Amino acid sequence: MPFKVPFGTITITDLAIKLINESLDTKRISSGKLVRLFEDKFAEIVGVSEAVALSSGTDADILALAVLHDFGAHRGDEVIVPALSFVSTGGAIIHAGFTPVFVDVERSTLNIDPSKIEAAITPKTRAIMPVHLMGKPAEMNTINAIAQKYNLAVVEDAAEAHGALYHGKPAGSLADMGAFSTYIAHIITTGEGGVVTTDNEEYAEVIRSLRSHGRACACKQCSLNTTSGYCAKRFRGEGGEDIRFTFERIGYSCKMNEMEAAIGIGAMEIYHQILNKRHDNLKHVLDRFDQFAPFLATIKEEEWEQIGPHAIPIIIQEDAPFTRVEFSQYLEHHGIETRTLFNSMPTQCQGFNYLGYKLGDFPNAEYIGNNAIHLGCHQDVGVEEMDFVLETITEFIRSKALS
């Protein structure tokens, strides 16, 4: 049957369709003026001076870290990261040429445990990558203080944190760089895509080079092909050579295209409308979730923050007389689509086995990996659907108590 509460949605506005059609009519579909406009608008929302659009949130993580090679980092250096995240977070560190060093999370926040970071720092550590999991901001004041003490970069994995605020500042503006996903499930979506945000102009220029094979031509205009006209800056190579074919660093190929940018521009046109609707939905559930203790738990929104309303995480507790499979299948059969929450990357994802971690090294991340799910709270549902979620959970727990 169709889900009454599907996990996700995408809003494609009339403006987006208009811009897509214009792009097709002019045959300019690779990165160009729409990508530049998307970047400007995204930077404004996050409150930073620079935003660089990419082809995925994973690429945003990779390139935000790969920048560090231009500023003294070496291949094989280490990046501290929470054990719990979507698998691409850890993979991005490896693809950027670094070694992930994992730290356990707090079960109450789902985020990296700040008290365990300093013990993971070695002479090879170059950065900390906190993850604002499920849109709940990590403890950035403490993390930034540690980074400053040890002269480390900080890159926020803000993939799920669109609209999150920490002490009044948006996620993505809280560190050296922020890495966002604009995949379908997110508030600002381009279908597929990602963005790196920063106030560091040098970082932004290197990222523009990295996204296009490491080429030397990396200014905001030429790197996006915003014009077919002559550009003197292109021909500043030796003897007037075209520097678009001079490659200064090992790069990637991960540009956003014009049609993806058009969808994102449309989403940002109604950004606050989407954000407020999703946050209302999330808060409606979080504010009523204590009724399910001691069997279920979720995150809380503290007074100093606003959670980016990505989804509703639910953790089955030790005292629950049911399993995650029983719970999720009951919800699915009653019209509520579910997703398993993420695993402990180093100990529950096989690709990281070579790093030598073993089960039990990250008890909180592993517990969540075995016992948590998340549900949708997007703009195509409302309070009625959220009440249906609460009622369905109540009915499930009651049925288990009586059995």
Q: Which CATH number fits domain 14-268: 3.40.50.300, 3.20.20.220, 3.40.30.10, 3.40.640.10?
A: 3.40.640.10
Which pLDDT band, with edges at 50, 70 and 90, does 314 fall under? Answer: very high
Collapsed DSSP state (helix, strand, coil) of residue 215: strand
Q: Identify the band that residue 246 occupies on the pLDDT scale cut at 50, 70 and 90.
A: confident
Cα(174)–Cα(96) distance, integer angstroms = 22
pLDDT of residue 222: 58
Averaged pLDDT, 167-175: 98
Q: What is the pLDDT of residues 349-385, one digit of tens each?
A: 999 999 999 999 999 999 999 999 999 999 999 999 9
pLDDT in tens, 42-69: 999 999 999 999 999 999 999 999 999 9
The model's pTM is 0.94
**Arithmetic mean of pLDDT over the chain:** 94
pLDDT of residue 237: 66
The torsion of the CA quartet 29, 195, 126, 357, rounded to 10 degrees, works out to -100
* 7-41 tens-digit pLDDT: 999 999 999 999 999 999 999 898 889 999 999 99
pLDDT at position 247, please?
A: 83
Please give the pLDDT value at position 184: 93
> Can you tell me the distance from the alpha carbon of 362 to that of 146, in angstroms, rounded to the nearest whole number?
21
Q: What is the DSSP string of 284-337?
A: HHHTTGGGGTTTEE-----TTEE---S-EEEEE-TT-SS-HHHHHHHHHHTTB-
The fold for domain 271-402 equals Aspartate Aminotransferase, domain 1 (3.90.1150)
Q: Where are the domains of the chain?
A: 14-268, 271-402
Residue 227 has pLDDT above 90, yes or no: no
pLDDT reading at 229 higher than 70: no
pLDDT > 90? residue 106:
yes
| pLDDT band of 284, cuts 50, 70, 90 | very high
| Confidence (pLDDT) at 292 | 97
